[in-house]
């Protein structure tokens, strides 16, 4: 019967009634497994799975939540949800050929119902660790088996910077899984589609599948549009000669602050002096608070002291956790603001003597306005609202400390007023 097990749902509803809270409830029963402590993020889900007979653990006292799960184990979990309907002993895969194999019935049931198709060559590879994208595809097919709506907008993966790492066979399933919230990104919004799934992750996505209506993605609200009298001026031959569109699948979600002892007008003139010149900023703000945009935020600029191509490895020297962990050119996911007449170079010759990062009151006000403007532009183009704090608004020296000086020294300078700018941002 093409329904999720009535027994399983009934047990879950009884659990909710006993606890008197909504799903998924915080478990009132401690896990029977010594490696699933009460404060673990997966504790309640593992208890739920154990109580409903989906898993018995890897031993009487352990669940092994961080161990990888195999393809055979994952399909077996789903077979238990369906109350293990009888299946004949026909051989569908060369490596699932022995009825005594624990996964034999589960794999054959899944194949007969179009939930799995194997990996080619008559094989299923039941003992290979399952990837996150393979889990999504199998659950996507199970949803079809249960007559669920499996449609998803083509933009469902736009929020995830590693969406280009998804295999072609998994795109439709990953769109559905991301759109329903069954599969979610990590703290950097990466889906990690080709990573092997852990047992805790597998049980979690199964629970989300069963309770899909309670796990829909949160609605994304736009950030406030900046108010005031500021205007963004675009240069006459915008975009810049060095524009590089697409960002290789990345979404800009960080802002990098730069300062220069040279004037903002000098930066603009240098950027557009010839077809081979390159601009280091998306925006520049002069000492009077005038904002000029050099390239669109949807393009990668030659900023942060690095070229726009993927060969640049300067991020390797960054101590900023986000920059170092993303393992790619920071230009792909940052928007750069340059403040003129305020560089960290006190040795510069007149009239371009630096200020160690001090900027004018007009620049502070304009900078806060521009941060709000950038947030809104990112929301309009990519549908995400970036948080504004010192983890997302950083200095040039936090991106490339090897060439720009270790923080707090170096660009944008030890006296750059990060806190004063951010305190003005709503």
Look up the CATH number of the domain holding residue 395.
3.40.80.10
pLDDT at 364: 95
pLDDT in tens, 392-411: 999 998 888 876 777 777 88
- Within this chain, do residues 209 and 284 fall inside the same structural domain, yes or no? no
Secondary structure of the chain: what % helix, strand, coil (to 5)? 35, 10, 55
- Within this chain, do residues 207 and 245 fall inside the same structural domain, yes or no? no
Distance CA 75, CA 148 (A): 19
Which element (helix H / strand E) includes 336?
A: strand 334-339
Overall domain count for the chain: 2
pLDDT at 134: 97
Out of 13-17, 248-252, 393-397, 400-404, give the one with best mean pLDDT: 393-397
Strand partners, 400: none
pLDDT at 12: 41
Least confident of 179-188, 270-279, 360-369: 270-279
| Closest alpha carbon to 223 in 7, 386, 390 | 386
Contact 82, 146 (CB under 8 A): no
Confidence of residue 246 (pLDDT cuts 50, 70, 90): low
- Within this chain, do residues 74 and 210 fall inside the same structural domain, yes or no? yes
Distance CA 125, CA 107 (A): 10
- Within this chain, do residues 182 and 240 fall inside the same structural domain, yes or no? no
pLDDT at 394: 94
- Within this chain, do residues 204 and 269 fall inside the same structural domain, yes or no? no
- Within this chain, do residues 209 and 263 fall inside the same structural domain, yes or no? no
pLDDT in tens, 67-107: 999 999 999 999 998 999 999 888 999 999 999 999 999 99
| Closest alpha carbon to 394 in 312, 314, 342, 337 | 337
- Counting residues of the chain whose pLDDT is more than 90, the rounded percentage is 41
Distances (CA, A) of 167 to 111, 195, 362: 21, 12, 49
Range of the domain at 195: 6-214
- Within this chain, do residues 182 and 325 fall inside the same structural domain, yes or no? no
| Closest alpha carbon to 33 in 22, 21, 23, 46 | 46
Please check whether residue 1 lies inside any domain of the structure: no
- Within this chain, do residues 36 and 66 fall inside the same structural domain, yes or no? yes
Least confident of 130-134, 159-163, 328-332, 347-351: 347-351
């Amino acid at each position: 019967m093409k329904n999720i097990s009535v027994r399983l749902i009934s047990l879950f509803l009884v659990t909710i009634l006993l606890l008197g809270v909504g799903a998924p409830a915080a478990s009132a029963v401690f896990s029977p497994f010594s490696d699933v402590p009460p404060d673990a993020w997966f504790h309640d889900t593992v208890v739920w799975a154990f109580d409903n007979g989906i898993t018995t653990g890897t031993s009487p006292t352990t669940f092994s939540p961080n161990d990888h799960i195999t393809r055979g184990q994952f399909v077996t979990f789903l077979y238990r949800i369906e109350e293990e309907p009888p299946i004949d002993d026909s051989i569908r895969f060369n490596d699932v050929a022995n009825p005594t194999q624990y996964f034999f019935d589960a794999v054959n049931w899944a194949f007969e119902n179009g939930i799995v198709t194997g990996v080619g060559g008559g094989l299923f590879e039941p003992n290979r660790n399952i990837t996150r994208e393979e889990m999504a595809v199998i659950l996507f097919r199970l949803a079809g088996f249960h007559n669920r709506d499996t449609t998803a907008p083509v933009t469902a993966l736009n929020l995830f910077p590693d969406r280009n790492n998804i295999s072609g066979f998994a795109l439709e399933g990953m769109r559905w899984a991301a759109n329903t919230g069954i599969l979610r990104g990590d703290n950097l919004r990466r889906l990690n589609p080709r990573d092997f799934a852990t047992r805790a992750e597998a049980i979690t996505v199964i629970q989300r599948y069963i309770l899909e209506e309670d796990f829909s993605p949160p609605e994304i609200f736009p950030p406030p549009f900046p108010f005031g009298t500021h205007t963004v001026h675009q240069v006459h031959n915008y975009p810049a000669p060095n524009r590089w569109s697409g960002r290789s699948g990345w979404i800009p979600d960080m802002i990098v602050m730069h300062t220069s002892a040279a004037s903002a007008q000098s930066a603009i003139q240098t950027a557009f002096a010839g077809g081979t010149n390159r601009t280091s900023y998306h925006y520049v703000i002069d000492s009077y608070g005038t904002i000029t945009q050099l390239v669109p935020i949807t393009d990668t600029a030659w900023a942060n002291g690095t070229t726009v191509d993927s060969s640049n490895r300067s991020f390797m020297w960054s101590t900023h956790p986000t920059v170092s962990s993303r393992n790619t050119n920071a230009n792909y996911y940052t928007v750069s603001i340059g403040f003129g007449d305020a560089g960290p170079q006190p040795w510069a010759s007149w009239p371009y003597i630096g200020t160690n990062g001090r900027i004018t009151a007009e620049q502070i006000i304009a900078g806060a306005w521009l941060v709000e403007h950038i947030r809104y532009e990112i929301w309009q183009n990519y549908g995400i609202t970036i948080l504004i704090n010192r983890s997302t608004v950083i200095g040039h020296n936090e991106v490339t400390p090897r060439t720009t000086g270790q923080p707090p020294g170096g660009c944008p300078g030890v006296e750059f007023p990060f806190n004063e700018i951010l305190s003005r941002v709503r």
